[in-house]
A and B are shown apart, each in its own frame.
Chain A
Amino acid sequence: MAGFLVKRLWQSIVLLIIVSMIGFGVLHLTPGGPLSQYALTPGMTQETMDRIAEQMGLNRPLPIQYLDWAWRLLQGDWGTSYRDQQPVLTVIGRHLFATLLLMVSSTVISIGLGTWIGIRGATHRYSTFDYTATVGAMIALSIPTFWFGLVGIYVFSLKLGWLPAGNMYTIGDGSLLDYLHHLILPSVVLALVNIAIWSRYMRTATLDVINQDFVKTARAKGVGERRVLMKHVVGNALLPMITLAGMQLPNLLSGALVTETVFTWPGMGRLFLDSLGYNDYPVVMGLLMFSAILVLLGNLIADLVAASIDPRIRLA
């Protein structure tokens, strides 16, 4: 396990370095580059701009600038938001909870439903249920998440009036029940695509396991069908899903951003869009880097969990 841990950690560090290089590249695509915040100041002249550029070290060679930028990133100095003059990490931290809440609740829904649909599809292969689930998953993957959110708001908020159309809580309320009430629609909307993905993979994984010798052995020993399914099949089919959950993390984050914009959910996605609207580039860049780091961390954890359960992975 220690060897696997070191190897996997090293991989993550290498990836982190490349990710930061891509981020640095994007940063230099911003209009005016890192100087853009000063360009907006009234009465700014070219000479002053040049002087600031020199003070900020922007006339140094790019590799040096990159190292400087990366070093400050490592020390937690992610710059200051143009909009409210607060450190970028503080601003992101304020929006982290809402996004995580949305992601976790929709993941619970999608894993629960997706696992069930996938297993049932595999055990009742080519049945009406399996066929419907297959076609349904393909259609679910084709529906734009933001539009599905709009339809959800139209039906459940505007027409039926059952659920709130946006925000995370009612101002002046904020009880647990109130949070849950607001959480239902966005997390179901975000879950739709993930249920589709999860059920497809779960079906394949179950089919892979269901015909293996140890399952046949269990049946031959006279173990009940239900017990075979729950203990021998599902347990083993869920293993590759742990790695998959890690791999799906960037898509989940993308989906959360999309959902947040429709439901005015006060998370990182909403912050990202607001910052884009205000040309608040430090926050935009911060979120870009932060989300990528979150994904790398998620992948690392998923792989470590999978390896700690399954010796085949860590010994491979």
Chain B
Amino acid sequence: MTAVEIHTHKHRWWRSRGVQRFVQHRLAMIGMAMLFLLTLACIIGPYLLPYDELYIDLRARFAPPLSGDHYLGTDPLGRDIAARLLMAGRISLLVGFFAMVLSTAIGTVIGVVAGYYGGKVNSILMRFVDAFLAFPSIFLLLALAAFINPSPVMITIIIAVTSWMEIARIVEAEVKSLRERDFVMAGRMLGLRNSHIMFRELLPNMVGPIIVAATLTVARAILLEAYISFLGYGIQPPLPSWGNMLNGAQQYLATAPWLAIIPGITITIAVTSFNFIGDGLRDALDVRNDPA
């Protein structure tokens, strides 16, 4: 590859091989489309529906889907499921997204520091990663959720606290493999501070694997939120979330199955989208796929 080529590529990042591969990845594109539609619906949908998510219509309790104005039916209090589903989507997607941001930040910092310094620092930090991984995440998450005031912010934080380990492992392995490379040596010889080498020189080389892991972390975070909210330890009513919409659905399973089916399918669609996108990103950003 000549210098001229590199120059042109720099200005057309969207024509790079990685982006091309991603766009041609059928599953990833399906995931992007589903996620886009879902997000759009959650953002503008609530303004278009006839009912808001807290309006209680006692005459229309347990209305099945497609009955009158209640397109997806109503819940035991007569609240419109469509409106609740979309408002819940805002909460669940935001919790998933910010839990990902936070856990990626924690995991990246710990991984970079452990990988860069090596030796004792590495052993101590990585043993902590192993120890956290020894706890079944749901047990740890539920214990923390039960002990702490369950506001959406706290739920986001505890999900992040229980899911940063994978990213730390990935980043640590990457840093270890890059640590002895010439550009790091050059940085040291130039007298750059360690923090500069770690986060300005090393980090940009691992954006690919981090993005892939982060995408899959969103999927995982949405599932975790759904589960603890389903059990009543997550997002608290009246604030709707996909998980707490399923809370109580089990007791009406025989008479009003849509209470369970609709939020469940929505969660599955959202999580599948992130998993598809993550798979596409992994294929697209895997440097080993790059000829040259």
For residue B55, CB closer than 8 A to chain A, the reply is no
A269 CB to nearest chain B CB (Å): 8
Total chain B interface residues with beta-carbon distance under 8 A: 45
Interface residues of chain B, those whose CB is within 8 Å of chain A, are: 27, 127-128, 130-140, 142-144, 146-148, 219, 223, 226-227, 230-231, 233, 246, 249-250, 253-254, 257, 260-261, 263-264, 267-268, 271-272, 274-276, 279
Pick the contact of A150: B132, B223, B253, B275 (CB < 8 A). B253
B139/A287 in contact, CB under 8 A: yes
A144/B226 in contact, CB under 8 A: yes
Q: Offer 18 A-B interface pairs, CB within 8 angstroms, sorted by A.
A: A14-B127, A19-B134, A19-B135, A26-B143, A26-B144, A29-B144, A138-B276, A138-B279, A139-B272, A141-B271, A144-B268, A146-B246, A258-B138, A258-B227, A261-B231, A276-B142, A288-B143, A295-B134
With a CB–CB cut-off of 8 A, which chain B residues contact A143? 264, 268, 271
Instruction: Rank and list the top 7 A-B pairs by shortest CB-CB distance, nearest first.
Output: A142-B271, A147-B264, A18-B131, A254-B138, A253-B136, A142-B272, A254-B136
Q: How far is the CA of A295 from the CA of B254 in the complex (A)?
A: 38
B166 CB to nearest chain A CB (Å): 11
With a CB–CB cut-off of 8 A, which chain B residues contact A14? 127
Q: How far is the CA of A285 from the CA of B279 in the complex (A)?
A: 37
With a CB–CB cut-off of 8 A, which chain A residues contact B219? 141-142
For residue A1, CB closer than 8 A to chain B, the reply is no
A139/B254 in contact, CB under 8 A: no
Residue of A142, A276, A285 with highest tally of chain B CB at under 10 A: A142
A300 CB to nearest chain B CB (Å): 11
Complex interface bits, A134-170 against B, C-beta within 8 A gives 1, otherwise 0: 0100110111111100110110001000000000000
For residue A292, CB closer than 8 A to chain B, the reply is yes
Q: How far is the CA of A132 from the CA of B146 in the complex (A)?
A: 40
With a CB–CB cut-off of 8 A, which chain B residues contact A273? 142, 231
A185 CB to nearest chain B CB (Å): 14
For residue A31, CB closer than 8 A to chain B, the reply is yes
With a CB–CB cut-off of 8 A, which chain B residues contact A153? 250, 253
Closest chain A residue, CB of each to CB of B130? A15
B279/A296 in contact, CB under 8 A: no
A22/B132 in contact, CB under 8 A: yes
For residue A272, CB closer than 8 A to chain B, the reply is yes
Total chain A interface residues with beta-carbon distance under 8 A: 45
B260/A292 in contact, CB under 8 A: no
With a CB–CB cut-off of 8 A, which chain A residues contact B139? 253-254, 257, 272, 287-288, 291
With a CB–CB cut-off of 8 A, which chain B residues contact A288? 135, 139-140, 143
A231 CB to nearest chain B CB (Å): 31
A146/B230 in contact, CB under 8 A: yes
Q: How far is the CA of A146 from the CA of B272 in the complex (A)?
A: 16
Q: A146-B227, A284-B146, A288-B139 are in contact. Are A154 and B260 (CB under 8 A)?
A: yes
* CB proximity to B under 8 Å, residues A279-313: 284-285, 287-288, 291-292, 295-296, 299
A232 CB to nearest chain B CB (Å): 27
Q: A147-B246, A151-B264 are in contact. Are A18 and B230 (CB under 8 A)?
A: no
For residue A127, CB closer than 8 A to chain B, the reply is no
With a CB–CB cut-off of 8 A, which chain A residues contact B257? 154
A142/B253 in contact, CB under 8 A: no
For residue A86, CB closer than 8 A to chain B, the reply is no
For residue A90, CB closer than 8 A to chain B, the reply is no
Q: Supply 20 further A-B pairs (C-beta < 8 A) apart from A135-B27, A254-B136.
A: A18-B128, A26-B143, A26-B147, A29-B148, A138-B272, A139-B268, A142-B275, A144-B264, A147-B226, A150-B250, A151-B260, A154-B257, A158-B254, A254-B137, A262-B250, A276-B143, A285-B143, A292-B136, A295-B135, A299-B134
B256 CB to nearest chain A CB (Å): 11
B277 CB to nearest chain A CB (Å): 11
A46 CB to nearest chain B CB (Å): 22
Q: How far is the CA of A293 from the CA of B128 in the complex (A)?
A: 15
For residue A34, CB closer than 8 A to chain B, the reply is no
Q: A18-B127, A30-B147, A272-B142 are in contact. Are A250 and B133 (CB under 8 A)?
A: yes
Q: A144-B268, A151-B260 are in contact. Are A257 and B249 (CB under 8 A)?
A: no
With a CB–CB cut-off of 8 A, which chain B residues contact A250? 133-137
B136/A257 in contact, CB under 8 A: yes
With a CB–CB cut-off of 8 A, which chain B residues contact A291? 135-136, 139
B143/A284 in contact, CB under 8 A: yes
With a CB–CB cut-off of 8 A, which chain A residues contact B142? 272-273, 276
Q: How far is the CA of A18 from the CA of B274 in the complex (A)?
A: 33
With a CB–CB cut-off of 8 A, which chain A residues contact B128? 18
Q: A147-B260, A150-B260 are in contact. Are A276 and B233 (CB under 8 A)?
A: yes
Q: How far is the CA of A296 from the CA of B275 in the complex (A)?
A: 29
* CB proximity to B under 8 Å, residues A1-49: 14-15, 18-19, 21-22, 26, 29-31
Q: How far is the CA of A292 from the CA of B134 in the complex (A)?
A: 5
A251/B136 in contact, CB under 8 A: yes
Q: How far is the CA of A292 from the CA of B248 in the complex (A)?
A: 30
B154 CB to nearest chain A CB (Å): 12
Closest chain A residue, CB of each to CB of B276? A138
B253/A22 in contact, CB under 8 A: no
Q: How far is the CA of A257 from the CA of B138 in the complex (A)?
A: 8
Closest chain A residue, CB of each to CB of B141? A254
